[in-house]
Amino acid sequence: MAISRGFVLAALLLAACGARAAPADQCAAKKAGESLELKADSTTVHWGYFSDAVEPNLIASSGDEIAVEMITHHAGDDYDKMVKGDPGVEDIYEWTKDGQNVPMRGKSGVGDGVHVLTGPIYVCDAEPGDVLQIDILDLKPRKNPSTGKTYGSNAAANWGYQFRAGFLDGQPREVITIYEATEEGDDVYVQPDYQFRFAGGPTGYMGPTTPCVEANVSLPEAFPGMEMSWDNAERVYSGKEVPCKAGEQTWEGYWYPGLITTHPTGTEDYSIRGKFKAKANIHIGNIGLAPAYDSPVDSVPPLMSGGNMDNRRVMKGNTLYLPVQVAGAYLSMGDAHLAQGDSELDGTGIETSINGRFKLTLHKKEELPKIVQNLTHPLIEQPDSFVVQGYTYADYLSELEEPMSTIYSKSQIDRAMTVAYNQTRDWMMRTFNLTEDQAISFITIACDFGITQVVDGNFGVHSIIPKEPFGYPVTTKSTGAASVPAPAPVPAAASGARGVVAGALTLLAAAAAAGALLA
């Protein structure tokens, strides 16, 4: 109840005291089907949290195509390669004795949210119960304008699974690997450049140092009496105190987003160069809508409305469907990756900056396509399959007491598997008119379940449901938007000329069935 009250009040506050015209007024003046752009700098990002009390940085409507720049929160791991010479990134990373251009980092100023998120993007007419369809038209690695190159950082950090499993020599350590992205024709590859220890080790390197900054800012108030202020006098992050000595702080752990490491640290190790070269699978780690919640929400644990899913299938050519929870939807995105395998084992992907292009389509709750009716989780559509995204808690914000402080200790793959199975069963029964027993058998013979991530507090398990068995059209990979039926398989009994005709008829039937499903 407090949730919906918070949302109404936040909307009233926005309407009453926004410096710009209220979003609804801007929507009234807006043309449909526009091409819009949201560049990233310190004024268009929020760092570490989702909230519908953040003033929107873009007003979009259904049918618009939007270009959005996403900047990695790991660029400080090699400032020269990932920040310097790129004005938007330099602006976001500005951190001097006099202040930080984006001073509020982390949900509450204690470092618990980490992602640089571009947005929010207000979607005109969006209301709770609607579904936002996001077609991912393009994701391009961002080239540093001064070097023409793209680098990324893989941080094997303290929240990685190796810290649970144990190290061979019993010595826990945080190690950063810098990768370079290279293009070969249309393909992008990633190659390791070098590694360094974040802190500690035989050289005695103590970790990055940053100036102490007496920031004193507060988040936009989402709910009266719930002011989230940020003043870092105590300098306590992730439960560890980082004292200010001679105007500087030294960070012995990867506890705070946006730390800038000065190289050389004495721990650089180039022996990884040339050991392997992998194909990139460029995707967005964190893309979501503001949840219905009465305070800003940590950007790390993934949400019913998306967020930090870290599912590598949120990639070019695919489509993401997210349930809208607040008026205007409030879409934000960041945490782009050059590559990541399922599990995101060591804590991060290859974190990089990416420029994306998307098409937005708003489905109103009165006329939802069948595949997104009663949607209570993110759904990804690939050319040949659907992906149901489950977590340990489908909606941890409403299921747990004190959710943001308890979710990290409740992460479980077992429970995430149960939730993903339940959601897959329910989605299949609704979408394909199956009984529970029919769904159970189909899931068993044809669906792959995978461990999405074991590092984001709310662990993820997803299922992959092939389209073809239900005559659902297989789409082309180029835009992800078109529903072009692929040649249907020729029934085993048919062959030769009759087979071709039978195939064509199957194709028509599949298209008709698909039309019925989409309606």
Ligand X SMILES: *[C@@H]1O[C@H](CO)[C@@H](O)[C@H](O)[C@H]1NC(C)=O
Alpha-carbon distance of 451 to 461, in angstroms, equals: 5
Q: Tell me: does residue 430 bind ligand X (CB under 6 A).
A: yes
Span near ligand X by CB under 6 A; candidates 274-282, 340-348, 354-362, 414-422: 414-422
427 burial level (CB within 10 Å; 0-12, 13-18, 19+) = buried
Residues whose CB falls within 8 Å of the CB of residue 384, separated by 6 or more in sequence, listed in order: 466, 467, 468, 474
Binding mask 335-374 for ligand X (x = CB under 6 A): --------------------------------------xx
Q: Which is nearer to ligand X, 50 or 396 (CB)?
A: 396
Q: Tell me: does residue 476 bind ligand X (CB under 6 A).
A: no
Q: How many other CB atoms sit within 10 Å of the CB of residue 449?
A: 17
Q: Tell me: does residue 216 bind ligand X (CB under 6 A).
A: yes
Residues whose CB falls within 8 Å of the CB of residue 79, separated by 6 or more in sequence, listed in order: 93, 260, 261, 262
Number of H helices, E strands in the chain: 10, 29
Output the smallest distance, CB 11 to ligand X, in A: 25
Q: Tell me: does residue 157 bind ligand X (CB under 6 A).
A: no
Cα distances (Å, whole numbers) of residue 273 to 77, 177, 204, 386, 459: 18, 10, 24, 37, 32
Q: Tell me: does residue 418 bind ligand X (CB under 6 A).
A: yes
Q: Tell me: does residue 488 bind ligand X (CB under 6 A).
A: no
Q: Which of residues 436-475 bind ligand X (CB under 6 A)?
A: none
Q: Which of residues 224-253 bind ligand X (CB under 6 A)?
A: 231
456 within 8 A of 347, measured Cβ to Cβ: no
137 within 8 A of 316, measured Cβ to Cβ: yes
346 within 8 A of 161, measured Cβ to Cβ: yes
Q: Which is nearer to ligand X, 109 or 160 (CB)?
A: 109
Q: Which of residues 76-105 bind ligand X (CB under 6 A)?
A: none
139: tokens are 């994701």
AA letter at 314? V
Q: Tell me: does residue 478 bind ligand X (CB under 6 A).
A: no
Q: Which is nearer to ligand X, 433 or 495 (CB)?
A: 433
Cα distances (Å, whole numbers) of residue 372 to 125, 131, 331, 353, 476: 18, 7, 18, 30, 20
Q: Which is nearer to ligand X, 3 or 215 (CB)?
A: 215
163: tokens are 């810290």
Span near ligand X by CB under 6 A; candidates 129-137, 141-149, 412-420, 454-462: 412-420
Concatenated DSSP letters of 209-271: EEE----EEEPPPSSTT---EEETTS-EETTEE---BTTEEE-SSS-STT--PPSP-S--B-T
Q: Which of residues 52-71 bind ligand X (CB under 6 A)?
A: none
Output the smallest distance, CB 370 to ligand X, in A: 7
Q: Which is nearer to ligand X, 422 or 476 (CB)?
A: 422
- 3-state percent breakdown (helix, strand, coil) of the chain, nearest 5: 20, 30, 50
Output the smallest distance, CB 419 to ligand X, in A: 5
Q: Which is nearer to ligand X, 144 or 325 (CB)?
A: 325
Quickly tell me which residue has 């460029």 as its tokens. 282
Span near ligand X by CB under 6 A; candidates 51-59, 146-154, 413-421, 461-469: 413-421
- Count the residues of the shown chain that bind ligand X, applying the rule CB under 6 A: 10
Q: Tell me: does residue 495 bind ligand X (CB under 6 A).
A: no
Output the smallest distance, CB 418 to ligand X, in A: 4
Alpha-carbon distance of 128 to 327, in angstroms, equals: 6
Output the smallest distance, CB 425 to ligand X, in A: 8
Q: Which is nearer to ligand X, 69 or 395 (CB)?
A: 395
Q: Tell me: does residue 398 bind ligand X (CB under 6 A).
A: no
Span near ligand X by CB under 6 A; candidates 131-139, 254-262, 264-272, 416-424: 416-424
Q: Which is nearer to ligand X, 360 or 372 (CB)?
A: 372
Q: Tell me: does residue 433 bind ligand X (CB under 6 A).
A: yes
Q: Tell me: does residue 412 bind ligand X (CB under 6 A).
A: no
Q: How many other CB atoms sit within 10 Å of the CB of residue 496?
A: 8
Paired sense of beta strands 331-337 and 150-156, if any: unpaired
Span near ligand X by CB under 6 A; candidates 77-85, 94-102, 359-367, 417-425: 417-425
Closest CA to 379 of 344, 426, 418: 426
Output the smallest distance, CB 493 to ligand X, in A: 25
Output the smallest distance, CB 288 to ligand X, in A: 21
Output the smallest distance, CB 284 to ligand X, in A: 27
Q: Which is nearer to ligand X, 501 or 518 (CB)?
A: 518
Where does this chain bind ligand X (CB under 6 A)? 216, 231, 373-374, 415, 418-419, 422, 430, 433
